[in-house]
Amino acid sequence: MTPVPYAFREIAPADADFLTEMLRLTLAWHLVPAADGSPPPVLVPPRAFADLGRPGDGGVVATYAGEPAGACWYRINLTARQYAGEPVPELLIAVWPQYRAQGVGGQLLDRGIEHARAAGYGAIDLVVELDNPARAMYLRRGFEPIGGAPDARDLRKIL
């Protein structure tokens, strides 16, 4: 199979609507999209990213032929865990279904991790359900269960 040529760029405040749709996919990873390809009906606050670009925000968008295909982003939440006395951002990732199984998710994850490292974070966290196939990708890239329990949903990668 010939690799698909994706381009990558940093997220920007103009990506708020796209990230809202990506968040919907992240929350509904186990649901099947509607027959017309629209995402499952998962409630996402309409202004979830109204403040996109605040301190602690970062990540990357993958594009194909100029159109967004997926994103890997992180934010510092009000309830952020700490590492070495500093807040740890939470990472999220989603890819439109038509672009999955082409390696773009792994490329997004690698670039999102590197973006957080370059921003000066010492660690990055994510939450993943135990039966989510993406969990294996996170573990292969060095994420480990927080607290050491192998069945933990919360994972951390030390950067």
Q: How many domains does the chain have?
A: 1
Residue 58: inside a domain, yes or no?
yes
Which string of b and e fits 134-146 if b means at least 16 CB within 10 Å? Answer: bbeebeeeebeeb
- Identify whether 2 is part of a domain: no
Residue range(s) defining the domain that contains residue 55: 7-158
Is 29 inside any structural domain?
A: yes
What pLDDT is recorded for position 123? Answer: 96
Which DSSP helix (H) or strand (E) runs through 83? strand 82-83
Tell me whether residue 1 is in a domain: no
CATH number at residue 115: 3.40.630.30
Look at residue 5 in the predicted model and tell me its pLDDT.
Answer: 85
Q: What is the pLDDT of residue 126?
A: 92
Per residue of the chain (159 residues), what is the pLDDT tens digit?
Answer: 555 689 999 999 999 889 988 888 887 776 656 666 666 666 666 666 778 888 889 999 999 999 999 999 999 877 778 888 888 999 999 998 888 888 999 999 999 999 999 999 999 999 898 888 889 999 999 999 987 667 778 999 999
Q: State pLDDT tens for residues 141-157.
A: 999 998 766 777 899 99
Task: Provide the token pair at 111.
Answer: 């670039």
**pLDDT at residue 156, rounded to an integer:** 95
Tokens describing residue 128: 């993943």
Span 88-100, pLDDT tens digits: 999 999 998 888 8
Distance from the Cα of residue 145 to its chain's centroid: 17
